[in-house]
């Protein structure tokens, strides 16, 4: 079909793209090639650092001597105890072997003497002395002894009061003499009298206990 000469022609984008495809391809290819040449020219080659191999660690194992455990000797056989039997097969003249028993008694230490045991018992029996203000019931005098007036003090006309400290045990008896306060001329007479006193024992926690008690003695001339 013949197209009139004065008929206008239309231009499409698809036709332009096909026409410029070859130029665009070669232009990109040439640019990429030039870029690779520049990279090769600038960085001709790369040197990698050498890898240093670490030396292997060698562990030496010494020959450890083998330990040997000594076996204990077997225990000695137990003595055979004869058992009475009603069987008639056992002859009457059978011989029983004697067995010597060694219990090693010679190696045992001898027992302590009786004196040492007695001293140990005395130490164990030592009781605590309780303060007089701590007891629930104080000791009451059951027997009071008046001291003898010293003749020297009587002739000299000396009078005074002496206090004697005594230890009363669980049975209510004077076990020891402690301090003596007062004129020295009356000390001996006061201690002799105080040693003869008896008491009902002091009570603490429903049990008798030891306590120190102070006894006053007054020496006066009639």
Are the C-beta atoms of residues 201 and 169 closer than 8 Å to each other?
yes
pLDDT tens digits for range 113-150 = 655 555 545 444 567 899 989 999 999 999 999 999 99
What dihedral do alpha carbons 30, 35, 37, 39 form, nearest 10°?
-170
**In a 10 Å sphere around its CB, with 0-12 CB exposed, 13-18 middle and 19+ buried, how is residue 195 labelled?**
middle
% residues pLDDT > 90 (the chain): 41
Quick one: pLDDT at residue 124? 46
User: What CATH class is the domain 132-219?
Assistant: alpha beta
pLDDT tens digits for range 60-106 = 656 666 666 677 777 777 766 655 555 555 555 555 555 555 555 55
């Amino acid at each position: 079909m013949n197209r009139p000469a004065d008929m206008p022609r239309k231009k499409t984008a698809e036709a332009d793209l096909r026409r410029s495809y070859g130029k665009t391809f070669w232009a990109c290819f040439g640019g990429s090639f030039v870029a690779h040449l520049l990279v090769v020219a600038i960085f001709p080659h790369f040197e990698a650092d050498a890898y240093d191999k670490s030396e292997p660690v060698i562990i030496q194992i010494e020959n450890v001597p083998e330990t040997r455990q000594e076996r204990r000797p077997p225990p000695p056989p137990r003595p055979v105890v004869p058992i009475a039997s009603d069987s008639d097969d056992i002859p009457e003249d059978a011989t029983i072997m004697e067995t010597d028993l060694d219990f090693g008694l010679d190696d045992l230490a001898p027992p302590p003497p009786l004196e040492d045991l007695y001293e140990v018992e005395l130490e164990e029996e030592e009781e605590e002395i309780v303060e007089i203000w701590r007891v629930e019931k104080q000791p009451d005098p059951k027997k009071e002894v008046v001291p003898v007036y010293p003749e020297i003090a009587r002739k000299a006309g000396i009078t005074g009061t002496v206090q004697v400290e005594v230890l009363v045990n669980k049975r209510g008896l004077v076990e020891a003499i402690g301090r003596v306060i007062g004129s020295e001329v009356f000390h001996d007479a006061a201690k002799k009298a105080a040693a003869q006193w008896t008491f009902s024992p002091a009570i603490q926690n429903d049990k008798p206990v030891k306590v120190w008690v102070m006894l006053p003695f007054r020496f006066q001339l009639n």
